[in-house]
Structure 1
């Protein structure tokens, strides 16, 4: 899937119950790497449990559960293709206790999709000071995700009201401007992740809406410049123990190139070991470049010795070091 297309990492953010799982599941379901048999299996299970109406979210929940239980880390299921790009979805849960995950996930993203619910009371709750919408948008900008799309979701719950769409767009645009985004460059898409309005095809329920579909909006994003000429920096997202293979750290190459045979140093502990092999989407790669989400096998290192947040670098080319001071931008 998508070798010749530019790779873009997408983080889906927004308040819990905004419909992130359904929206993301819908995209993966329609455009992604899930085979028909898996979908049919999920549909059967969801209807047996009386959750047939949640089949898109169910796809995502099943993938999460399988990943959490350690069953094959299949990044291939977390991707989809638009006509122009190859997207990998980085999961960012909505609950407050998951802000840590949100930070590690968002820091790897090129584009953020902010899902905002249009239902009565839903938007007000999600956009209140207690809701997570504002916090997620601020975090995305602070962590360097400069491209955003806003999906105004659940339009079916407000009878596809143009007034409701305009009201939400105005309020969210004002906040995004305050955070640092240019609202004129942020597509606002009227969608229903559940029904499918304006997800892949133009909706027939909103003749007033003249904007793009969600897929069209994703295709207007600019491909990020990948600094492959700089020294290797690869922050670890997770570390797995894979039977018959050994220790496999997983993360996104931020700068430089990772290849088999390279001697790596992990900061901040200074642990040095050899990279035995590199894989992306279950395919062995000769080398990984910036933007690639990869797993790589390391020699004679146990899972306990490496942690999320450690940074892998080439021990022979300016390896990562700790810093004494740094500058930060604070938002009160």
Structure 2
């Protein structure tokens, strides 16, 4: 589930799985966990919530200061993945210059807004075939698609797009505009 953590109760959209009253959930990267006491939609109380539901919920033992916007809740048995690094496929939509190793724009993924650093430009992607090109690029620019290695500057949840698409897609923003978009191919977990 992707959670925004606004106000006195966490609110968000169930992206995958089913949340049931009485089960234990964990918020990552905060690490706070507890039992779901109640689930509300449109001021009505429900026993469970399914993908697509926008809910507010109470968790016993988790206060409003324990979690923040961008945290993701999941079952304690299958906790959301906190990424140490991740491999992504990105498309540069509009950038006034070039993107090189070390570039650190803000990645918008689910409800998280986290600055992330380009660690490596692995390969450009041939637009005709969709296959990686053999030569390692020194930079990428507007119109390029590439496989890149990314490191968040602080803990953030990122899932592989093939497993949970809404939690593995992102927009990259800088200078007040969306400069690139992409999807996560592989995550190196922080723990």
TM-score by length of 1: 0.27
Higher-Rg structure is 1
The answer to which structure, 1 or 2, has the higher relative contact order (CA under 8 A, 6+ apart) is: 2
Query: Which structure carries more helix by proportion?
Result: 1
Query: Which structure carries more strand by proportion?
Result: 2
